Copies of this chain bind each other. A is one copy, B any other.
Amino acid sequence: MSTFGHVFRVTTAGESHGRSVTAIVDNCPPGLSLTEDDIQPQLTRRRPGQSAISTPRNEFDRVEIQSGTENGLTLGTPIALRVLNEDQRPHDYKTKKMDLYPRPSHADWTYLEKYGIKASSGGGRSSARETIARVAAGAIAEKVLREAHGIEIVAFVSSTGDEFLFPPTPEHPTATTQPGFQKLLETITRKQVDAFQPCRCPDADVSARMVALIEKVRDAHDSIGGVITCVIRNMPAGLGEPCFDKLEAVLAHAMMSIPSTKAFSIGSGFGGCQVRGSRHNDSFLKGTGDREKLHLTTKTNNSGGVQGGISNGAHIYFDVGFKPPATIGQEQTTANYDGQEVVVSSGGRHDPCVVPRAIPIVEAMAALTILDAVLVQRSRTAMMTR
Contact = CB atoms under 8 A, between A and B. Distances in A.
A348 interface: no
B340 A286 contact: yes
A378 B253 CA distance: 22
Contacts of A377: 114
A69 interface: yes
Interface stretch (A179-187, A203-211, A216-224): A216-224
A384 to B, nearest CB: 5
B1 A9 contact: yes
Interface string A256-274: 1101011111111110111
A117 B6 CA distance: 23
Nearest to A303: B105
A346 B244 CA distance: 28
A232 B117 CA distance: 26
B79 A272 contact: no
Contacts of A264: 252, 256, 263-265
A118 B66 contact: no
9 contacts: A1-B9, A1-B245, A3-B26, A13-B24, A20-B67, A106-B307, A110-B237, A161-B276, A270-B270
A226 B104 CA distance: 33
A266 B320 CA distance: 12
B265 A1 contact: no
Contacts of A125: 77-78, 242-243, 308
B339 A244 contact: no
A193 interface: no
Contacts of A380: 27, 29-30, 76, 114-115, 375
A154 to B, nearest CB: 20
B383 A321 contact: no
A7 B379 contact: yes
B384 A375 contact: no
A337 B285 CA distance: 9
Contacts of A360: none
Task: Give the 6 A-B CB pairs with smallest separation, nearest first.
Answer: A107-B308, A286-B339, A126-B308, A223-B277, A263-B265, A76-B115
A323 interface: yes
Given A225-B272, A257-B245, A326 B277 contact: yes
Interface stretch (A41-49, A51-59, A194-202, A309-317): A309-317
B26 A2 contact: yes
Contacts of A101: 284
Given A107-B308, A304-B262, A312-B110, A226 B321 contact: no
A376 B219 CA distance: 43
Contacts of A253: 244, 249-250, 252-253, 256
Interface string A280-297: 111111110000001110
